[in-house]
Amino acid sequence: MKLYTTARAPNPRRVEMFIAEKGIAGIECVQIDIGADEHKSAAYRAKNPLARVPALELADGRVLCETRAICSWLEGAHPETNLMGEGYDERAFIEMADRRVELHLLLGIANCVRHTHPGLAKLEQPQFAEFGAVQGERMRETARWLDQTLATQAYVAGARFTIADITAFCALEFGRGLMKFRPGAEGMPHLQAWRDRMADRPSASAGLK
């Protein structure tokens, strides 16, 4: 199998961290240089017509796209270590937590960066700076909610590490690099402490190169 990815981008990093946490071997990582528009090439569009990363090419030649779908497939193919829930009840609550941080934390950070950072102007044309700034503030509303959540539980979805922690960590690291967002410096000590614990996990380095 091949994983088409790009270094440091949050969604490909989510998949690579998921793979690392599960200890899955034998997946070749193929780097796609989005700065050079490799994701828009005819060869890559033949695999993913929407020209996005990541994409997982399965052994039978089919290509699975979208981060959550890829992780769901990997979870089914490699049930241990479980990261998405045992049984319908736990799965639903983990998915709720994961979707919350994906839609309201990660997406807010991504929109802020894409519309305000000059280095991403090539990828986001036109940029709308005012929209980006508003997204940065709304992301902080979610971060403050998450800070309070983590004051009462060890992980984003509850008592154990799950895919929701992967999504939230990759979101914060993206914001840390391009927004200079530091939760602790903005009055969110529980979120900062959680981020620092996540950064100590071996999987935290996945997707950086």
- In the chain, the domains with their CATH numbers are 2-77 (3.40.30.10), 87-205 (1.20.1050.10)
**Other residues' Cβ atoms within 10 Å of the Cβ of residue 118:** 7
**Other residues' Cβ atoms within 10 Å of the Cβ of residue 199:** 13
pLDDT for the residue 179: 86
Banded pLDDT at 47 (limits 50, 70, 90)? very high
Average pLDDT over residues 90-105: 97
Given a cut of 80, is residue 187 above it in pLDDT?
yes
pLDDT for the residue 56: 98
Banded pLDDT at 82 (limits 50, 70, 90)? very high
Report the C-alpha gap between 162 and 59 in whole angstroms. Answer: 26
Average pLDDT over residues 122-147: 90
Phi-psi map region of 80: left, alpha, beta (phi>0 left; psi -120 to 50 alpha): beta
Q: Which residue has the higher pLDDT, 197 or 116?
A: 197
Chain segment 13-32, per-residue pLDDT in tens: 999 999 999 999 999 999 99
Pair of tokens at residue 84: 């998405």
For residue 179, give Cα distances in angstroms to 22, 66, 108, 128, 169. 30, 24, 11, 16, 15
pLDDT for the residue 119: 75
Chain segment 146-168, per-residue pLDDT in tens: 999 999 999 999 999 999 999 99
pLDDT for the residue 124: 74
**Share above pLDDT 70 across residues of the chain, in percent, rounded to a whole number:** 100
Given a cut of 80, is residue 2 above it in pLDDT?
yes
What does residue 115 show for φ and ψ, rounded to 5 degrees? Answer: -105, -5
Pairing, β 28-31 against β 2-5: parallel
CA atoms within 13 A on the CB side of 195: 22
Cα first-last separation, the chain: 19
Q: Which of 9-13, 119-123, 135-139, 152-156 has the lowest average pLDDT? A: 119-123
List the helix and strand counts (H, then E) for the chain: 8, 4
Banded pLDDT at 44 (limits 50, 70, 90)? very high
Pair of tokens at residue 168: 């939230």
Average pLDDT over residues 157-186: 95
Chain-wide mean pLDDT for the chain? Answer: 94
